[in-house]
Amino acid sequence: MSDISIDYQDIQGNSLAGFNKDHQTFLLVQFRDAPSARTWLATLVPRISPLSEVQDFNNLRRSMIARLGRAPRSLAVSWINIALSARGVDLLKSDGDDPLDDNAFNVGLAGGRADLLGDPPKRNEWKFGATDKTSADALVIVATDAAAHLRTVVRELRDGIKAANVKLLYTQKGHTLEGNLRGHEHFGFRDGISQPAVRGFTQPPKPGEPMIWPGQFVLGLPRQDDADPDQPLDPLPCPDWAKNGSYVVIRRLRQDVEGFWQHMKGEAARIGAGPEFPNIDCTRLASMLVGRWPSGAPFVLSPTSDNPELALANDFRFGDADAFPPVCPFAAHIRKVNPRSDPVEGGGPSSALTRRFLRRGIPYTDGPTDRGLIFVSYQSSIENQFEFVSRQWASNDVLPVSPPGEEAISGFDPIIGQNDENHRERSMMLFGHTGTAVDVILPRDFVTPTGGGYFFAPSISTLRRWTAE
């Protein structure tokens, strides 16, 4: 592992370490011209939080929690990271710097990738990123431990934006939920449990976290080989300036919480009247859709009731305990997006690992009917990771895993799957104790994209070079 050399001073901190803050703000900024963009960025570069600082802070916090038995009260910092769209990179990069060749990144969500993901074509409610005009050139992520402190930092940043003659398109706030819902997303399920561990970085990995080569998340580092989990693949080819950078996906996903639970009640009553899942209630049904109970307990480890003692459990496989009929439905959200040891196309022992990305999202609450998740992911290929998982697995009723036999359909991911642009209804299959398929019908989306963009978070040295010219 010593041959992996991670540059802690050069890589931005939110990728490998994760800010893990309760309060975050996303500033979506548009450039007017290269000189003013450079002037603005030059003021920001010294404030960008490198991996070294974020990792040191996270380690200190972990060690204090272990000593005190609770979170420390007075340990507080603020973090800032920045990422650029293809248009932003194009404007800022030096003459002679080659462009990036990630097709998804270059086309962007507004340029056609939102259609490809199956997003509803009516995008008038998107807050940013629906069209070229509303797409940002830069995404600034600000994260702090205290909401008041965040407001101060954001105010400073907004003043800087004004002074530099760049345009603030949109400000998106995110906060972890409070009370019993702390650590949970808006439907009520614990989120942020399962993350890949990064070789040469995560020390030690948590049980059940596979070690993944860091080049899956940061360019210029050794990548995952789908044929051999322990041997690295050469880094993905990229221009020199892109080394130590990562692609960033942001999606503003609105959740219709009332609609979801009302529908779950109706479906539970319908399905519970049949022989396969007698009297199933809406919480159990929804947990089958997610693959975990509200506490976070994996459905496959606790199929009859929630068990908060297993809330953070991540050391499980779907295949072993789970021959046909499956305990955890094939189309459950966590099984669709990470099939673990299930064999997937490609067939290599670590094929599924090559699709993983680091999730850095946070809930947002902009009003009673406008709340959801700011989904954020870091990866070294948008096309082969975020988009592959979204399109080929979540929005596909057969892949990655289907039941044996004639009815080889598992259905769509019921949380994030999208059927096609105009036809929103979709279904997923549950299999009862006799193996008979029972359809759960989802007549419409309960998660709807209302903003987003594809970005690239360059290394700090590259940003320094681009702003010094």
Where along the sequence are the contacts to ligand HEM (CB under 6 A)? 185, 187, 189-194, 251, 253, 255, 290, 292, 333-334, 337-338, 359, 372-373, 375, 386, 389-390, 394, 415-416, 447
Q: How far is the CB of 73 from ligand HEM (least distance, A)?
A: 27
CA 430/CA 433 separation, integer angstroms: 10
- Return the amino acid letter for 252: R
Q: How far is the CB of 468 from ligand HEM (least distance, A)?
A: 37
CA 180/CA 250 separation, integer angstroms: 26
CA 327/CA 60 separation, integer angstroms: 40
Strand pairing partners for 413? none
Select 294 or 403, whichever has its Cβ closest to ligand HEM: 294
Select 6 or 394, whichever has its Cβ closest to ligand HEM: 394
CA pseudo-torsion sign 249, 252, 257, 262: negative
Strand pairing partners for 415? none
Q: How far is the CB of 437 from ligand HEM (least distance, A)?
A: 24
Token pair, residue 263, equals: 């529908």
The answer to whether the beta carbons of residues 448 and 373 sit under 8 Å apart is no
Select 199 or 359, whichever has its Cβ closest to ligand HEM: 359
Select 79 or 375, whichever has its Cβ closest to ligand HEM: 375
Q: What are phi and psi of 404, to 5 degrees?
A: -70, 165
Select 78 or 194, whichever has its Cβ closest to ligand HEM: 194
Q: How far is the CB of 380 from ligand HEM (least distance, A)?
A: 15
CA 231/CA 216 separation, integer angstroms: 13
Select 155 or 317, whichever has its Cβ closest to ligand HEM: 317
Select 30 or 224, whichever has its Cβ closest to ligand HEM: 224
Closest CA to 386 of 191, 246, 178, 236: 246
Q: How far is the CB of 214 from ligand HEM (least distance, A)?
A: 18
The secondary structure of residue 310, as a DSSP letter, is G
Q: How far is the CB of 96 from ligand HEM (least distance, A)?
A: 35
Residue 216: strand, helix, or coil: helix
Closest CA to 358 of 460, 234, 249, 251: 249
Q: How far is the CB of 43 from ligand HEM (least distance, A)?
A: 33
Q: How far is the CB of 355 from ligand HEM (least distance, A)?
A: 9
Q: What are phi and psi of 342, to 5 degrees?
A: -60, 135
Closest CA to 306 of 188, 209, 427, 429: 188
Select 185 or 397, whichever has its Cβ closest to ligand HEM: 185
- Residue least distant from ligand HEM (Cβ): 194
Interhelix angle 34-44/147-163, rounded to 10 degrees, is 150
